[in-house]
Amino acid sequence: MLINNKSIAIVGGGPGGLTLARLLQLKGADVKVYERDFDKNARVQGSPLDLHDRSGLAAIRKAELLEEFKNNFLPGADKKLIMNERAEIFFSDHDTKVEENFGHEYFRPEIDRGTLRKILLESLQPGTVVWNSHFISIEKENGGWNLYFKNGSSAYADIVIASDGANSKIRPYITDIKAFYSGVIMLEGNISNAKETAPNINALLKGGKIMAFGNGKNLLMGQKGNGDIGFYASFKADESWSSTNGLDYSNKEQVLEWFKINYPEWNHIWYELFKNSEVPFIPRPIYCMPFDQTWETLPNLTMIGDAAHVMPPFAGEGANMAMLDALELSECLTSEKYGSLTSAISAYEKNMQTMASIAAKESLENGELMHSENALATMLEFFNRH
């Protein structure tokens, strides 16, 4: 096996990085995951994600974690309401959705990100994740790499894999190709104990999702397994909006006033989101990698997930693609059919670039449709057809 007697460093402990570590450890590899978080409880994880049969779920099955996943996913969390800005319901599958199950090609079970992370963390050998390891730089040494971290520590690895997200600090060592701005900003909020703090929205959600469209803007929200609600105000704006709008993201009253001014036609029921959100709100400019990106393969340095192919979230492919990358890279690194690490990594990268290009195009097109003046009609047509 090409990675026999090789030390592997994965930088970033998101779904992709942890899945890759699990898959490689099942093959006997020597793996460490370097994660910038201080510990496993350092951050509130984002909204639930849905796993797709041929990507995220395929990786879960290969990682021998399907039964644990089944014990922790959120039945019914994929049910949805499509509404307009006045909070009128135009589509609901709460009473009509055909019950699907594992093994069904279009079944996309939802799971809290924090729960998925816990499942993956607990599947790893003790000491695999090195917390409080904020990556700063790498340099070549003895055919491998020395990694340097903000806390002053360093580590050596024969192979380094970047799983450090859209703002990857390792990516520039591989390619100078940069992501482009999609034109969309998503302002993120989170409501704790929504049954008590946001009872009207909570009653509408009924454990599922809401997609509200109006005037070229969106509100997107979903119920988390712990009773929280994660939500996004999504709209088109200049790339510099996050830093030039004058908002104090820790001031709920100020952000609510911004919503009232910029979403003037929207029903007062939506105000409940902003009045009861935790602070700070988080602005997220949405980026996408060029569809035709390629680079010269390196023999011991590559990347997965958003580090390799950040894309808009409007097709639900982000975490799924990262986990599929993990699956396919692990297969290439442990296959007997490649004569060198370079050829194994090259095979992975070429396939990953092709698949990511297809997914990115779909995500970008969906984002345009969702922020068009006809978004409601377009989305209704899509969901009624499917």
| Calpha distance 117→40 (Å, rounded) | 9
Place of tokens 């409007």: 314
Going from the C-alpha of 41 to that of each of 98, 117, 131, 137, the distances in angstroms are 37, 11, 11, 25
Going from the C-alpha of 20 to that of each of 12, 142, 158, the distances in angstroms are 11, 25, 16
Q: How is the beta sheet containing 159-162 ordered, strand by strand? A: 129-130, 30-34, 7-11, 159-162, 301-303
pLDDT, tens only, 170-227:
999 999 999 999 999 999 999 999 999 999 999 999 999 999 999 999 999 999 888 9
Q: Give yes or no for a contact between 279 and 251, defined as CB atoms under 8 angstroms apart.
A: yes
| Calpha distance 312→179 (Å, rounded) | 11
Q: Which residues are annotated as a binding site for FAD?
A: 50, 113, 306
Give the pLDDT of residue 98: 58
pLDDT, tens only, 147-157:
999 999 999 99
| Calpha distance 135→122 (Å, rounded) | 23
Domains in the chain, please, with CATH? Answer: 7-47+120-178+290-366 (3.50.50.60), 180-287 (3.30.9.30)
Q: Residue 382 pLDDT more than 90?
A: no
Instruction: Identify which has the larger pLDDT, 100 or 128.
Output: 128
| Calpha distance 226→193 (Å, rounded) | 8
b/e 363-378 (16+ beta carbons within 10 angstroms → b) = bbebbbebbeeebbeb
Q: What are phi and psi of 348, to 5 degrees?
A: -60, -50
Least confident of 20-29, 35-44, 331-340, 376-385: 35-44
- Classify 86 as helix, strand or coil: coil
What single-letter DSSP state applies at residue 173? G
| Calpha distance 19→25 (Å, rounded) | 10
pTM attached to this predicted model: 0.94
- What lies within 8 Å, CB to CB, of 263 at 6+ separation is 85, 214, 215, 217, 233, 270
What mean pLDDT, rounded, does the chain reach? 94
Q: Which residues are annotated as a binding site?
A: 43, 50, 113, 306
pLDDT, tens only, 24-68:
999 999 999 999 999 888 776 667 899 999 999 999 999 999 999
Q: Which residues are annotated as a binding site for NADPH?
A: 43
Q: Give yes or no for a contact between 195 and 203, defined as CB atoms under 8 angstroms apart.
A: no
